[in-house]
Structure 1
């Protein structure tokens, strides 16, 4: 089932509290200092470290026929969490981001080459800043990431913007990202939490029939903002929010927090957090409380089948929301990802592929590894008009862009048209449940579309 929501209805449904101060999916302002492990680079046979160069075969169609006189490779970075609280979902997102470079490895690039470099944010702002500086110092002009909004906002302010480097996050959903004074250097393929809060409120009232709810949210910008956004939307729909209870990441027990949240006997428990914390929280919930008394609503940060397996419960009373990969090239991307990694893509994977692909195309059109030049071409390669470029003809599209031809990248996550703030102009959300008997472990019951 697909449901459309008009932009004007969304704005009306989310009150001022829901629009101000939201942080993003997987957002984290906390987190101690850390250092990143050494960055890794994509390697190819017959090429230098970190370089993907033209070969005779590939998953993209052949180039446009003409060679391009460019001595330096097209370079992009991948700055995502492979350790820390988001490691379980961060690694597949990283895999999607690097898939662009891997895909172009054997494609006919007409003399062009592509180089990518990886760094781990450790789901920590300080580690993310250090890792981002490593990429900038390596001469990377455009970076896919970071994933969490707390990390993304700090990295944008302290690294991307002052150094004139483009950041394009696949999963940072903070509303505050929109309002950054970024001089146009910060983009994202993920939707804002303003929209997810509206979806959550709608699902809670219409799908689950709840009239009262409490939220438990991770104590950072992501949790606080999305809890507020949900509360505003749910109350607008006629429901009441009895309490909003914060919690810290990765604690040994959440029983006391659960007791505090459930003391008012709500119809619905909304949990906003990450898999590592969620595993312990739901072990405590199913051990100490009767699940038949409560419906539970989760957000995108917990859309991880592995969490359910670690909890050791089917979690049948759980429903979730998450951005949906419903772009024109969604099926082609899913097939390519499955072929490369032997598994289906997960949450924000399509968004990461799209972010990396747009960065490569913008770099190709810019003709140089310069952040300011890449910035000026992000809209040009992603928004109409131009020859349509998708997962299936990406190598040809890169060649066309390098030759100065107009291209219009059509993504896997959405049509990937940027608005003036660097956000997506049209996005979709899935309503999902855990499904142990399916290959992915997730079953989607409904898709809700937004268009500005």
Structure 2
């Protein structure tokens, strides 16, 4: 089932600001010639609180190189870095990529890392950053001179989706919140609360927590103190393991409610780590519903012998767009050159390119032809702030240790 919402109405609900125009003209397509080198970085949390998801997101970006290296005359120089799900480590890893001459980077993943890395490293050094999973609304408002993009949607949209899901599917009228005390957790919780209240719901206790603590029993007790219909939890898998162990050990049997989580806690390994099938947990996550989704999934499974997970397709799209824009920018492109060609290769207009013909797409761009990249995650149509103009979310449930999609929610302009 697919439900459609008006994106502008949702943004108004949560107090979203209007889009600010990007000054300057975009570069002209072409000039790459036959062959040449495509250089980009992949900056992901391979360790830390988001490590279990970060590795697979990284693999989505690396798939572009492995797919194209033997199919085109272009050579790839792809360098990786580990943010450790920590801003300081992310800044250090980003600086290493910049020092190595990388003009564009897929990443970072976590919003608290992305906001620091973009402000301190990417923007001052005129390096393009395309995050596949940094969803904090603050990314939209960065003073970035056009260098920062993302293929993931803003949590200004996900909060209303979560509120809609629990009100429609669970008939909930009250909710408590338990959220990670960082940019991602705070912004998504605020978006959810605003949407829930705007739809007539009552928000009871709002409780924050720090990452990777030894126990979350007391925070859970506070969040459930008023016996809400639903508990909304925002966090990452490593903390989520401890949090849900405490929940099932201490509260689940005595509380007759449901839990809803966002993308950061959609992890197929979580039930086994927690030791519970987690059947009372619902979730939302950006969907892989783009025109190239099926071919991407085939490629991913062939390369990594596993099914794609959350944000894999968004990382693939970020790397694909960087590759196309690099060729369009000509030989040895700078970050500014790539920035000025991203919308030229991604936004509507020109020959359609997706995961099925990406190699041919590079050649078309090198020959000076106009292309329109259609992604695995979405249409990949960037607005003036570097955000997606049309997105979709999957509504999910943990069922007997597996994650099952219940429906898809579309947002359209």
The question of a shared fold, defined as TM-score above 0.5 by the shorter chain, is answered with yes
How many aligned residue pairs are there?
A: 398
Measured after TM superposition, the shift of residue 193 of structure 1 is 0.3
Distance 1:67 1:233, change over 3 A: closer
Paired residues of 2:34 and 2:363 also in contact (CA < 8 A): no
Q: Could you tell me which residue of structure 2 aligns to residue 358 of structure 1? A: 321
Paired residues of 1:112 and 1:399 also in contact (CA < 8 A): no
**Secondary structure, in 3 states, of the residue corresponding to 2:242?**
helix
Question: Structure 2 residue aligned with 1:105, among 69, 74, 77?
Answer: 69
**Secondary structure, in 3 states, of the residue corresponding to 2:344?**
helix
Please state if 1:445 is matched with 2:406.
yes
In structure 1, distance between residues paired with 2:352 and 2:6: 27
Measured after TM superposition, the shift of residue 12 of structure 1 is 3.8
Greater length-normalized contact order (CA 8 Å, ≥ 6 residues apart): 2
In structure 2, distance between residues paired with 1:103 and 1:383: 23
Measured after TM superposition, the shift of residue 67 of structure 1 is 9.7
Runs of 4+ off more than 4 Å: none
Q: Could you tell me which residue of structure 2 aligns to residue 325 of structure 1? A: 288
In structure 1, distance between residues paired with 2:388 and 2:133: 12
Measured after TM superposition, the shift of residue 414 of structure 1 is 0.1
Q: Deviations over 1:92-146 (max 9, x none)?
A: 0001100001111211x2x322221111111111111111111111111111000
5+ residue gaps, structure 1? 21-65
In structure 2, distance between residues paired with 1:435 and 1:206: 19
Q: How does 1:128-207 map to 2 (within 5 A)?
A: 128-207=90-169
Question: Structure 2 residue aligned with 1:210, among 140, 151, 172?
Answer: 172
Q: Could you tell me which residue of structure 2 aligns to residue 334 of structure 1? A: 297
Q: Deviations over 1:196-248 (max 9, x none)?
A: 00101101211111111100001111111111110100111111001210011
In structure 1, distance between residues paired with 2:32 and 2:104: 24
Measured after TM superposition, the shift of residue 69 of structure 1 is 5.0
In structure 1, distance between residues paired with 2:12 and 2:119: 31
Question: Structure 1 residue aligned with 2:360, among 396, 412, 417?
Answer: 396
Q: Could you tell me which residue of structure 1 aligns to residue 278 of structure 2? A: 315
Q: Could you tell me which residue of structure 2 aligns to residue 413 of structure 1? A: 377
In structure 2, distance between residues paired with 1:161 and 1:246: 31
Q: Could you tell me which residue of structure 2 aligns to residue 6 of structure 1? A: 6
Q: Could you tell me which residue of structure 2 aligns to residue 58 of structure 1? A: none
Measured after TM superposition, the shift of residue 254 of structure 1 is 0.9
Q: Deviations over 1:313-354 (max 9, x none)?
A: 111111001100100010110011001111100000000000
In structure 1, distance between residues paired with 2:319 and 2:80: 12
Please state if 1:93 is matched with 2:78.
no
Q: Could you tell me which residue of structure 1 aligns to residue 308 of structure 2? A: 345
Distance 1:69 1:320, change over 3 A: closer
Q: Could you tell me which residue of structure 2 aligns to residue 34 of structure 1? A: none
Measured after TM superposition, the shift of residue 251 of structure 1 is 1.0
State the superposition RMSD in angstroms: 1.5
5+ residue gaps, structure 2? 18-30
